[in-house]
Chains A and B, each alone.
Chain A
Amino acid sequence: NAGVMQNPRHLVRRRGQEARLRCSPMKGHSHVYWYRQLPEEGLKFMVYLQKENIIDESGMPKERFSAEFPKEGPSILRIQQVVRGDSAAYFCASSLGTGGMSIYIQYFGAGTRLSVL
């Protein structure tokens, strides 16, 4: 009964490199959300995806960031040409997507902590 799985837990990149963050939602969940958390702050919404579709990317920076949730496999958050300001914890959450209030309850992974040197 695995929960939301994120990997890696920690990722170190040098400026200009690419970062790939993976998220496998809970079994049976078809809705995935990505959030970013800076130290001592709350989480900020980035993007909401369903299988093969980006539903809402209003929180994603326009450049260097992209996300996908393919038919098979985990959701991927990709950051190209990372800069120091990208250092943060990135959390993935999933929800059931149907059935009344259950669509609003999200289950979070443990996060990926990205450090850009």
Chain B
Amino acid sequence: SQQGEEDPQALSIQEGENATMNCSYKTSINNLQWYRQNSGRGLVHLILIRSNEREKHSGRLRVTLDTSKKSSSLLITASRAADTASYFCAMTTDSWGKLQFGAGTQVVVTP
């Protein structure tokens, strides 16, 4: 079974709007990351938030982490057509660094 579940499964918005997606997980984590995957490509790291952090920003990205609820959210502000991709949360629960992924949210941004 997957460690993470993402919501929504798919999201369609217009350019300029904000996109929010959520990730819930089951066990304690060391850190949580968000990755982006364009169709047919590999994953690209976006942002990492440690288990003792609550919020982190990187450019137009904002990530929150609530360890009491075992959930995280990714907000993309002022979306662009180039943000069209699948977004995955990934958890690290051990010292080796192996990632346990959610099923992803497909985001489509229309011009």
Chain B, interface size category, equals 20 to 34
A103 within 8 A of B: yes
Chain A, interface size category, equals 20 to 34
Interface of B is mostly: strand
Whole-angstrom CA separation of A42 from B33 in the bound complex: 14
Closest to B102 in A: A42
A75 within 8 A of B: no
Whole-angstrom CA separation of A97 from B101 in the bound complex: 20
In the complex, which of the residues A42, A95, A101, A105 has the most CB atoms of chain B within 10 Å of its own CB atom?
Answer: A42
Q: How far is the CB of B81 from chain A (nearest CB, A)?
A: 22
Return chain B residues, CB-CB under 8 Å to A101.
31, 48, 50
Whole-angstrom CA separation of A103 from B100 in the bound complex: 15
Q: How far is the CB of A42 from chain B (nearest CB, A)?
A: 4
B12 within 8 A of A: no
B99 within 8 A of A: yes
Give per-residue flags for B73-105: 1 if the beta carbon is below 8 A from chain A beta carbons, else 0: 000000000000000101010001111111110
Return chain A residues, CB-CB under 8 Å to B54.
none
Contact A42 B104 (CB under 8 A): yes
A69 within 8 A of B: no
Return chain B residues, CB-CB under 8 Å to A111.
41-42
CB-contacts of B1-45 with A (<8 A) = 2, 4, 30-31, 33, 35, 41-45
Residues of chain B at the chain A interface (Cβ within 8 Å)? 2, 4, 30-31, 33, 35, 41-45, 48, 50, 88, 90, 92, 96-104
Residues of chain A at the chain B interface (Cβ within 8 Å)? 4, 31, 33, 35, 40-45, 48, 55-56, 59, 91, 93, 95, 101, 103-111
Q: Which 6 A-B pairs have the closest CB atoms?
A: A108-B42, A42-B101, A108-B43, A43-B101, A42-B103, A110-B42
